[in-house]
A and B are shown apart, each in its own frame.
Chain A
């Protein structure tokens, strides 16, 4: 049974960089899409991007210019950096596993506990 635990700074000033990390416990790190999703009252659930164990990434077109995902397979961790944050980036941020089986997407079946990120001057 896989478990995700995430951490990072929760209070940022405008123009700073959001930085979150998610650790994967319990199962193999390969074969799945390690994903970041955020949730706010204004935008609901919003997919930010994904990375696999080899470091291959996909990003939301609307966030691509400000987001960088990275992975550390030795620690079974993946990370999110979002640059130049504004108040509009205030949200609950979740890491999640996009389960893949023989190329089939089986849903976001495991989620971290969430990190509330607030951007305020």
Chain B
């Protein structure tokens, strides 16, 4: 994958989860984040690095630092348990690519 994510992240309820995604694309391109629960289609949770679509709670945010982007979930709840995918474009900026996904486990 052109975008690298940790396979898993675990947090206790109420804590802050940080899921990173690294890739050269982020030095020039925006980051997008999706969550996906079993048997469901992905859902957009962050676009253009740190914008939230309507209906996504404020405790979900995004940050960037060079070639690493981070999805931050404050006050993690059981309902946040899902797979999370980052997305940007390939190194030439021609087409979308996704990270391999991170499984967020709420302990």
Contacts and interface: CB of A to CB of B under 8 A. Distances in A.
Given A61-B95, A94-B41, A108-B42, A45 B30 contact: no
Nearest to B51: A106
A103 interface: no
A44 B99 CA distance: 8
A58 interface: yes
Interface stretch (A15-23, A69-77, A81-89, A111-119): A111-119
Chain A interface bracket (under 10, 10 to 19, 20 to 34, 35 or more): 10 to 19
Contacts, number: 51
Interface residues of B, number: 22
- The secondary structure that dominates the A interface is strand
Interface in B1-22: 1
Contact of A47 (B42, B43, B97): B97
Contact of B44 (A46, A58, A108, A113): A108
Interface of A: 44-47, 58, 60-61, 94, 98, 104-109, 111-114
